[in-house]
Amino acid sequence: MLDFHVTKTIFDLTKKGYKTHEYREYKPYWIKRLEHLNPPLMANIVEGYSDKKIPVTIIKINSIKSSEVPPIYRIFVINTRYCYDIEYKER
Q: Is the pLDDT of residue 73 over 90?
A: no
pLDDT in tens, 21-39: 999 988 899 999 999 999 9
Nearest CA to 77 among 86, 88, 68?
A: 68
pLDDT of res. 75 = 80
In percent, the amount of the chain with pLDDT more than 70 equals 99
- Burial string for 41-72 (b: 16+ CB within 10 Å, else e) reads eebebbbeeeeeeeeebebebeebeeeebeee
Question: What domains does the chain contain, in order, with CATH numbers?
Answer: 2-90 (3.10.400.10)
In whole angstroms, what separates CA 40 from the centre of its chain? Answer: 14
What predicted TM-score, i.e. pTM, was given to this entire model?
Answer: 0.87
